[in-house]
């Protein structure tokens, strides 16, 4: 059974169909890249997979539980216990230190313990931002802020970490560092990773690439049996610079 599954998911915003009968399976320990042009529906799919939004039709299950049928309270608990999120613009609390930002999901769920602080320290050391622990976000570089955001996503030991354009606000050097770091996290920690991206280069870090266009799955490339080059697949999605849906 897939760890995370979307089955026949359709999403309307008003009369606009953003996702049209989308079905995907995400296996435990995999690194899945969902790629498409701006406006293709990839970010909407990510928010539905993460329980931030609900499908108009279809179902989403995590570890056998149908999250698309959960109440808002149940979803809030789920997002603080099983799902980690990392966004393009980091979304760090500006008046909290790096360490406090990493611990924020724990603060929202209950009391921060010494064990939690030790976990935060371990993650920040692993991600190379231990020296930034007492700094506010505005005192850190974009790459450092994104590493802190990744540590925050991992602090709850999530079953899946979901990333929306994780390097979209970074230069090429920092982008490569973050993508290499995500690959290490996937391989060394066994964390299941799902990223959405418009970058063919970033997509190729995944062991599975799902191309989406106009709200539909266009193609799927498995890295283990890849007789079609990812860059060829990306060309078919006709990457554009329109505003994301």
Q: Could you report the per-residue pLDDT of 22-38, keeping only the tens digit for each?
A: 999 999 999 999 999 88
158 closest CA partner among 110, 196, 215, 106: 106
Question: Higher-confidence residue: 223 or 23?
Answer: 23
What percent of the chain lies above the pLDDT cut of 90?
66
60-114 pLDDT, tens digit each? 999 989 998 899 889 888 888 899 998 877 789 999 999 999 999 898 877 899 9
Q: What are phi and psi of 167, to 5 degrees?
A: -120, 15
- 4/22 Cα distance (integer angstroms): 13
| Domain ranges, ordered by start, for the chain | 4-236
**Rounded average pLDDT over 51-59:** 94
Q: What is the CATH number of domain 4-236?
A: 3.40.50.300
Say if residue 190 is exposed, middle or buried (CB neighbours under 10 Å; 0-12, 13-18, 19+).
exposed
Residues 15 and 57: beta-carbon distance below 8 Å? no
Token pair, residue 38, equals 């701006």
Q: Helices in the chain by DSSP H: which ranges? A: 42-49, 72-79, 98-109, 114-126, 142-154, 172-184, 200-203, 230-236
Which residues are 32's β-sheet partners?
A: 194, 208
Pair of tokens at residue 237? 């999605």
**Cα distance between the two ends of the chain:** 30
Length of the chain (residues): 245
pTM attached to this predicted model: 0.86
pLDDT at residue 227, as a whole number: 46
Tokens representing 231 are 């860059």
């Amino acid at each position: 059974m897939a760890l995370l599954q979307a089955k026949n998911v359709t999403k309307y915003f008003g009369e606009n169909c953003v996702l049209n009968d989308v079905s995907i399976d995400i296996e435990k320990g995999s690194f899945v890249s969902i790629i498409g042009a701006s406006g293709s529906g990839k970010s909407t799919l990510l928010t539905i997979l993460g329980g931030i939004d609900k499908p108009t039709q279809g179902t989403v299950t995590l570890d056998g539980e149908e999250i698309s049928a959960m109440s808002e309270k149940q979803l809030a608990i789920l997002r603080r216990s099983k799902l980690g999120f990392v966004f393009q613009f980091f979304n760090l609390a500006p008046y909290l230190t790096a360490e406090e930002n990493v611990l924020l999901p724990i603060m929202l769920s209950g009391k921060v313990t010494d064990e939690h602080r030790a976990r935060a320290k371990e993650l920040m050391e692993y991600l190379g931002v231990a020296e930034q622990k007492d700094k506010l976000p505005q005192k850190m570089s974009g790459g450092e802020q994104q590493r802190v955001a990744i540590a925050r996503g991992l602090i709850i030991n999530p079953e899946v970490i979901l990333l929306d354009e994780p390097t979209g606000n970074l230069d090429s050097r920092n982008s490569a560092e973050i993508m290499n770091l995500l690959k290490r996290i996937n391989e060394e920690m066994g964390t299941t990773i799902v990223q959405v991206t418009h970058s063919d280069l970033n997509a190729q870090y995944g062991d599975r690439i799902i191309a989406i266009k106009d709200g539909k799955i266009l193609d799927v490339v498995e890295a283990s049996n890849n007789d079609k080059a990812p860059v060829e697949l990306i060309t078919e999605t006709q990457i554009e610079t329109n505003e994301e849906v």
